[in-house]
Structure 1
């Protein structure tokens, strides 16, 4: 049998997801790869998609988009990425229904895992590093980025935030990190001693960011939260600056007076890793995946695991994934 995570309606993920049993998949056809899953991550975006699902589904909706595992079979005549072979470790993204013991994946979303990476890193090898690549590309569209311009990011202690910091250090890009708590700021300073960190617990945190910038203009800001934090970043941006929003953790909307955008000539941009597959060309996807692998190899110590759960503990895993103060990604082992 195959055990798969599904849901039939939107709502709090811990309440609506369930594990069903179904027959084991048949041999893969042309263009397909059969993967025995060894771990999958519980990303905030996964849970947001479940919570926002509209109405009742006519049939169960498979959950998840990323996983790691071992190739069990390759369909006849199927072209696969370099290194993908029977018995080899792979990462899969984006593959709807990745929260499953078995995955019949489209060959184009199956990527070989380097031997140097643990299974824990392999389970996180694509979504967060690809998000980092996507964000950097959005930042590089600003003419000042990488020159006199400075980057500021909120939620800097998150899984993506740590990768953005590490990648910025590798490429010598100036950055100021913003986190919610003084405790989180102390933790981030231990990881990245040379990168300024500001806590929004301090009423004058925005002035602290300006001081850390040392007179350099804040040309680009990254924010996965929305709401008030995003509004504060717009105030920090220099004229011509750009705010890239890539998440929706806050419930409240971003309120922006038209005068703010007009007088400072600001750009507000939304980026979503879920659109990467449809918007990027095959050549771009291949390049981005190669960059994601390099990020995983260079920053493998930044892929923290908050906890690992068995599939029977799925509700606990989902609850842990949204727990305040969580550091790292929650993984589930489906066997």
Structure 2
């Protein structure tokens, strides 16, 4: 028996339950992990509320990130033995392979031996944020040294990962956050410029910062009305990569701006990196090298014990965090 988190109906954090279930051993090609820490993500809120790209059969588990110790390996698995310290790349389906539990099982191709310098909490906070930011900025946008890159929702774990990757490449990160409350923290973290979108004219500030050249790359999980000022300040031939839809308001399509500037608006899910072995291999190499050098360093906003998973989800939805929320098991 092992404790897992499941929900029997869609709803708020209170629908999450800790239950004891029998966990079968790993099947062929799988690795079973004794979990030490979990990383929390917005996708898990969407699954819990019934708004995710997957529709689970209830009751359902959830969770995309974990770090721990290999408990057992299935047939045809090489490179892992019981006792190895590992972390988990988010799988194609968190319904099929949920991470919230004391004992979890994942396909071996999504299990990674992370740098030993990382503790359990940091290791559980690596893969969603860095794979998401890498896939958008490096794999798709081909971020360059002389680029300006606008990063909205900048204080989220993915936003912070994007700032670190931009600095690693030598690009200029412009962090966008709703109010100035997190401005100083973002500047200290490495953002070259910070724009408080609820307090400043976003378009004017972007143009002031980037100059007549404009911003070539925009990385946004929000959508909604922000699309118009974002695209208005972009450079000719620029690319806006949309990886979420946090705004409850309709998202306009700024047709004439897109036509006149020959912009690319690109929908993006991290699954396209995860589902392509060659692209995933390149992403892992980039991220592991960055972790080992210290150029990429996960920021933990707050840690909760496993028994407080409901409180952890409430904090996740409060938008108060700066970095990743982690649950220890």
Query: TM-score over 0.5 for the alignment?
Result: yes
> For the structure 1 residues 238 and 77, does the alpha-carbon distance in structure 2 shift closer, same or farther, using more than 3 Å as the test?
closer
Tell me which residue corresponds to 1:286. Answer: 281
Q: Distance in 2 between matches of 1:138 and 1:283?
A: 14
Compute the RMSD of aligned alpha carbons.
2.3
Q: Distance in 1 between matches of 2:167 and 2:230?
A: 22
Q: Distance in 2 between matches of 1:92 and 1:301?
A: 17
Q: Distance in 2 between matches of 1:207 and 1:56?
A: 41
1:97 is paired with a residue whose SS is coil
Tell me which residue corresponds to 1:94. Answer: 90
- 1:73-95 Cα offsets, whole Å, 9 max, x none, are 22233223xxx332111011224
Q: Distance in 1 between matches of 2:150 and 2:286?
A: 22
> For the structure 1 residues 188 and 94, does the alpha-carbon distance in structure 2 shift closer, same or farther, using more than 3 Å as the test?
closer
Contact 2:213-2:235 within 8 A present in 1 as well: no
Tell me which residue corresponds to 2:243. Answer: 246
Tell me which residue corresponds to 1:64. Answer: 63
Deviation at 1:224, TM superposition (A): 1.2
The number of equivalent residue pairs is 322
Tell me which residue corresponds to 2:123. Answer: 122
Q: Distance in 1 between matches of 2:237 and 2:88?
A: 38
Q: Distance in 2 between matches of 1:212 and 1:258?
A: 24
> For the structure 1 residues 302 and 185, does the alpha-carbon distance in structure 2 shift closer, same or farther, using more than 3 Å as the test?
farther
Which runs of no fewer than 5 residues in structure 1 stay unpaired?
none
1:199 aligns with 2:196: yes
Tell me which residue corresponds to 1:85. Answer: 81
Tell me which residue corresponds to 1:168. Answer: 166
Q: Distance in 2 between matches of 1:274 and 1:320?
A: 26
> For the structure 1 residues 58 and 238, does the alpha-carbon distance in structure 2 shift closer, same or farther, using more than 3 Å as the test?
closer
Tell me which residue corresponds to 2:156. Answer: 158
Deviation at 1:298, TM superposition (A): 4.0
Tell me which residue corresponds to 2:49. Answer: 51
2:226 is paired with a residue whose SS is helix
Moved more, 288-297 or 111-120: 288-297
Q: Distance in 2 between matches of 1:23 and 1:168?
A: 44
Tell me which residue corresponds to 2:94. Answer: none
Contact 1:8-1:56 within 8 A present in 2 as well: no
Tell me which residue corresponds to 1:224. Answer: 221
Tell me which residue corresponds to 1:8. Answer: 8
Q: Distance in 2 between matches of 1:60 and 1:176?
A: 42
Tell me which residue corresponds to 2:181. Answer: 183
Q: Distance in 2 between matches of 1:329 and 1:254?
A: 27
Q: Distance in 2 between matches of 1:295 and 1:289?
A: 10
1:214 is paired with a residue whose SS is helix
Q: Distance in 1 between matches of 2:189 and 2:65?
A: 26
Tell me which residue corresponds to 1:328. Answer: 323
The alignment's TM-score, normalised by the length of structure 2, stands at: 0.89
Tell me which residue corresponds to 2:260. Answer: 263
The alignment's TM-score, normalised by the length of structure 1, stands at: 0.88
